[in-house]
Every structure is written in C-alpha cells, then in structure tokens.
Amino acid sequence: MTNGMVHLVSADEWVQACRTLADQGTDVADWLTAIDTAGSLMVLVHLVCPGTGESALIGCHVDSESPQIASLTPYFAGVDWHERETSEMFGIEFIGRASTDPLLLRTAEDPPPLRKRSPLPARVETPWPGREESEKKRRRRKLPPGVREEWVSDE
C-alpha cells in the first residue's frame, strides 16, 4: 500500500520485491519511469490492484554513469513499453528485455533527452533577453531559467 511513499530497494532486490507485491495483490504494472535528480538516478515502478485500488511505489537507485537494472518484462507484461521509453529517455539498460527497438529517431551521439546533464543547445547559445546589462549592478551573471550550470561551465 502506498500513500505516496516510495519503497526503496536495492538492484538485487528489485525483481523479487515487485514479484512479492504482485503476489500480495498489486499485480498490474501501472507505469515505470526514472527520475534524474542530478545527484542520483532512480527507477520507479507503480504497481496497482485494479480491483481494490491498492497500489505500491517501488524505487531503486541505479548507477549514474552506466545505469542498468533488471527488466520486469518476464513478470509484468504491461511494463514493456515503459521500459522501452525509459531506456531511451534516460539511457538506462534494462537487462533481460526481449527487444531493444528504439522509440525515438535519435542517433547514437544524441544524449538521452531526459537526463539533466543533456544540454539544450538552443538555450545555452541563444542570448537571453533577461540578462543583466546594467553596469551598475555587479551581480554574478544569472543563468536563464532552464539552463543548468554544468552546460555552460565548460566554456
């Protein structure tokens, strides 16, 4: 049962924790996704019991540099599309998936779109109308909204 709280497990426990919850009733995979907090990368799955409305949120931190986690597809058919999408959006490898058909038309060089480290070149290169131009204000240059420090600090 969840009240919005995430039941955190380790990568080794991931599949078993989900299977145990399925045995207890929440056996339908509602959605699976990932959250990139720039400090960490966490895979999340929401399991529900359609009959009773009970649900569970299970999360697992994965390695930020080469993220991988076991696939839930052998046990939850409904998670297939979600793993496919999460894999492309975050660059996470789901081990044990039957197919790796891409959803997006991206080349291998394009960084995963939803990782916070993946820059939006348009926002970095376009001059921001909101930049401070007054000479009197000696504040540190403010970054425009939507532009992360790490995208510009290399310059």
Residues engaged in binding other proteins (CB under 8 A): 104-106, 110, 113, 120-123, 126, 128-130, 134, 144-146
Least spacing, CB of residue 153 vs other proteins, in Å: 19
For the stretch 52-87, what's the b/e string if a residue is b when 16 or more beta carbons lie within 10 angstroms of its beta carbon? eeebbbbbbbbeeeebebbbbbeebebbbebbbbbb
For residues 13 and 110, which CB has a smaller minimum distance to other proteins in the complex? 110
Q: What is the DSSP letter of 102?
A: -
Least spacing, CB of residue 8 vs other proteins, in Å: 32
Least spacing, CB of residue 134 vs other proteins, in Å: 8
Least spacing, CB of residue 60 vs other proteins, in Å: 29
Q: With contact defined as beta carbons under 8 Å apart, do 65 and 36 qualify? A: no
For residues 109 and 154, which CB has a smaller minimum distance to other proteins in the complex? 109
Q: Tell me the C-alpha distance between 120 and 143, whole Å.
A: 13
For residues 74 and 146, which CB has a smaller minimum distance to other proteins in the complex? 146
For residues 12 and 131, which CB has a smaller minimum distance to other proteins in the complex? 131
Helix (H, G, I), strand (E, B) or coil at 151: helix
Helices (H), 14-146: 14-23, 80-90, 121-125
